[in-house]
Amino acid sequence: MEEDFMTFIPQSAPSCNPLPRGDLSCLLEEMCRIAGDAGRMALSLRAAGLVSSLKADGSQVTQADVAVGEMISARLSPLLPGVPIVCEENIPLLAKTDMTGTFWLVDPVDATRKFISGQDDFSVNIALVSDRYPVLGVVAGPARDVVYAGGKGIPAFCLRDGGKIRHEIHPRSIPESGAVVFATLSRSRFSDGNALDAILGGMHVAERIYLGSALKFCAIAAGEADVYVRIGETGEWDTAAGQAILESVGCGIRTLDGMPLRYGKTGFLNESFIATR
């Protein structure tokens, strides 16, 4: 890991914890184990029957979101003692907080609506953020038995078959046949392709896919797709892990005016963005 990601956070920051001066690849491996266990727990709870309710923002939440979030937090806490854990389900307690130090960002069940409906494109997202930058990220797709991971200075990889199969992942060049583009399903602000075409700037598009969860970022990092455009707000917990994985293979996420996504903002919300190589 590069030295600039091992520096101490200023004491004036709300979370003034330094990243460890050890091998962060070991930390990433433990994050993979936690995400894998969390995914299996989510599947088990879904099989037993879900009870959903609406949060203040109108989005759905189940007992699985809460229980899995609590399990992840309990497992992360001793890894870096004192480092805050920002989970989607505790955001109301932190909405007015600006985090400039080191902290965890967790989405225990990303794409809850898909999860509730029995579909397989939901994920478990865990990221470690330092100085507003996601330095480690893990995205697990429990129903697909896959875990993606990567970080600054750590080659991204994919685990399958309960971790028995492991291989590095790499993005692809956009094929001559055209790009595979992800578009958002929920809360999209465009009803046709006009806005998307304007953002893509004339890029030849072979296929547009509507898919839930952070698995979109992983598909780009693994060379299975090329672009993801998001119009409208997302939570930082939706993107941090995927961004760490993307950037570990040379891809990136930018706002529509070309600025990199950064983390720990008051409210923990992102603006519209595009993710690509």
pLDDT tens-digit readout, 110-145:
999 999 999 999 999 999 999 999 999 999 999 999
What is the tens place of the pLDDT at every residue in 3-24?
Answer: 343 332 222 233 335 555 457 8
For residue 94, what pLDDT is reported? 62
Strand pairing partners for 227? 181, 276
Q: Does 191 lie in the same domain as 214?
A: yes
Is the Cβ–Cβ distance between 104 and 123 less than 8 Å? no
For residue 16, what pLDDT is reported? 39
Please list the ranges in the chain whose pLDDT falls under 70.
1-22, 92-97, 185-193
Q: Does 154 lie in the same domain as 18?
A: yes
The encoded tokens of residue 193 equal 């392709």
DSSP code for 96:
T
CA 25 – CA 31 distance, rounded (Å): 10
Q: Does 197 lie in the same domain as 161?
A: no
DSSP code for 133:
E
Q: Does 158 lie in the same domain as 24?
A: yes
Give the amino acid at 74.
Answer: A
Ramachandran assignment for 223, one of left (phi > 0), alpha (psi -120 to 50 degrees), beta (any other): left
Q: Does 136 lie in the same domain as 22?
A: yes
Residue 253 lies in a domain: yes
Residue 174 lies in a domain: no
Residue 86 lies in a domain: yes
Q: Does 209 lie in the same domain as 155?
A: no
For residue 1, what pLDDT is reported? 34
> Residue 220's domain is classified under what CATH number?
3.40.190.80
Out of 111, 133, 168, a domain closes at 168
Q: Does 81 lie in the same domain as 188?
A: no
Q: Does 220 lie in the same domain as 146?
A: no
State how many domains the chain has: 2
Out of 119, 147, 168, a domain closes at 168
> Residue 44's domain is classified under what CATH number?
3.30.540.10
Q: Does 188 lie in the same domain as 131?
A: no
CA 162 – CA 197 distance, rounded (Å): 39
Instruction: Look up the pTM and report it.
Output: 0.90
Is the Cβ–Cβ distance between 124 and 134 less than 8 Å? no
Range of the domain at 246: 179-276
Residue 155 lies in a domain: yes
Q: Does 78 lie in the same domain as 23?
A: yes
Residue that has been written with the tokens 């200075």 in this structure: 153
| Sign of the Cα pseudo-torsion (23, 76, 263, 131, in order) | negative
Residue 81 lies in a domain: yes
Residue 173 lies in a domain: no
List, in sequence order, every beta strand (DSSP E) within the chain. 52-54, 60-62, 85-87, 102-110, 123-130, 133-141, 146-151, 154-160, 165-168, 179-183, 205-210, 227-230, 234-235, 252-255, 269-270, 273-276
Q: Does 222 lie in the same domain as 140?
A: no
Buried/exposed code over 97-127 (b: 16+ C-beta within 10 A; e: otherwise): bebbbbbbbbbbbbbbebbbeeebbbbbbbb
